[in-house]
Amino acid sequence: MVAGHPTPPLGLAWSPESAPSPSKPNQTWGRSRNSQFLKTYSQVMEDEEKAVESLVSNTEAARSPSPIRCCSLRLRYLAATSIICGCSCLGVVALVFAIKAEERHKAGRLEEAVHWGARARRFILASFAVWLAVLVLGPLLLWLLSYAIAQAE
């Protein structure tokens, strides 16, 4: 076959070696018809390859490079917010992990970026959960303490 072209499906393969010898004029007409068919088939395959390459490149250009890319900035903002509005020590750890995830993504190590991004999300959620627990449990414990003191008197 011609270099760079895929092998045609079964039943469509033709080569000059496998063609019958032109002992009759009818066979030469068949041979030119086969070569014309192969040229057309080759052209169609090239057009299909170009169409697939174009479709793949357009699809890749249309979507974002990776899930971390669109969320890395948001991870940093959420980590900074968890420092201010949450438990600050957990928020600082989340910010460090978010920055590591962004650096790994820029370096092209996507698996590590996903790993560090997931850890940053966990620490962000833990920071907010601890802060909400303190906000809810603090007044509840004060009420329980005042109740216990009132009962003791």
The domain ranges of the chain are 26-63, 67-152
- Tell me what pLDDT residue 36 has: 77
From first to last of its 153 residues, the chain has per-residue pLDDT tens of 555 555 555 555 555 555 555 555 555 555 667 777 777 777 777 777 777 777 666 555 555 444 444 456 788 888 888 898 888 899 999 999 999 999 999 898 989 999 999 999 999 999 999 999 999 999 999 999 999 999 998
pLDDT score for 3:
57
CA distances (Å), origin 79, targets 48, 87, 92, 115, 130: 48, 11, 7, 16, 14
pTM for the structure as a whole: 0.50
pLDDT confidence of residue 153: 83
> What per-residue confidence (pLDDT) applies to 70?
47
pLDDT for 64: 47
In sequence order, which residues have a C-beta less than 8 Å from that of residue 82 and are 6 or more positions away?
90, 91, 94, 95, 123, 124, 127, 128
Q: What pLDDT does 5 receive?
A: 55
